[in-house]
């Protein structure tokens, strides 16, 4: 029986972290199903979905993660999932993007995310960044969201509510459709 696990790891960025994790998965006779990896400041962060078979797969993963923490100074957490991860129903949602740009201030992510939640929108990927503006040096915030909007949601109403939030925050907001596999 195939078992699924979510694994997260974070550690000071350096060459070889991906190789270390890939070897851990391979040595435990597991398969990498999905992944997301990024550098955050000076840290490298990883989220993995992996699967494996056998009565002792969880024990093998636990031992390998502890070894990796000790030897490579990574913080690793993993947990078993309840059954196979569900497939997202492509025909029930409209894949969209939301991009927000403006002077950095507290509450941008919270207000936009709560508006999306009220409409049943699922955030599938979110990336933020604050960088000094070219001329003024003022921190400019950018947020890019990949999201699945239920077909039943009135997208014009969603857009109006998001524009109201953007106006309140004095930021620019753009919505668009994205390819289903992006």
Helices (H) and strands (E) in the chain, counts: 4, 8
Closest Cα to residue 118, out of 80, 150, 91?
150
pLDDT tens digits, one per residue of 19-73: 999 999 999 999 999 999 999 999 999 999 999 999 999 999 999 999 999 999 9
At residue 137 the predicted structure's pLDDT band, cuts being 50, 70 and 90, is confident
Superfamily of domain 2-80: ACT domain (3.30.70.260)
pTM of the predicted model as reported, rounded to 2 decimal places: 0.84
Domain-by-domain residue ranges, the chain? 2-80, 90-177
Cα–Cα distances in angstroms (integers) from residue 140 to residues 104, 128, 172, in the given order? 5, 11, 11
Q: What is the rounded CA–CA span in Å between residue 10 and residue 91?
A: 35
90-177: in CATH 3.30.70.260? yes
Q: Look at residue 86 and tell me whether its pLDDT is greater than 80.
A: no
- Give the mean pLDDT of the chain: 94
With cut-offs at 50, 70 and 90, classify the pLDDT of residue 182.
low
């Amino acid at each position: 029986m195939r078992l699924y696990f979510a694994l997260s790891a974070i550690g000071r960025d350096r060459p070889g972290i991906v190789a270390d994790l890939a070897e851990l998965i391979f040595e435990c006779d597991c398969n990498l199903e999905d992944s997301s990896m990024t550098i955050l400041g000076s840290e490298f962060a990883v989220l993995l979905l992996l699967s494996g078979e056998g009565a002792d797969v969880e024990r093998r993963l636990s031992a390998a993660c502890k070894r990796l923490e000790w030897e490579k100074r990574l913080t690793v957490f993993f947990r078993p999932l309840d059954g196979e991860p569900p497939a997202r129903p492509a025909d029930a949602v409209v894949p969209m993007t939301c991009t927000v740009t403006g002077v950095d201030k507290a509450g941008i992510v919270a207000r936009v995310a709560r508006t999306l939640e009220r409409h049943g929108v699922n955030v599938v990927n979110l990336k933020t960044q604050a960088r000094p503006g070219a001329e003024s040096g003022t921190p400019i915030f950018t947020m890019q969201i990949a999201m699945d909007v239920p077909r039943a949601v009135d997208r014009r109403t969603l857009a109006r509510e998001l524009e109201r939030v953007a106006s309140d925050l004095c930021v620019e907001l753009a919505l668009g459709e994205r390819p289903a596999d992006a």
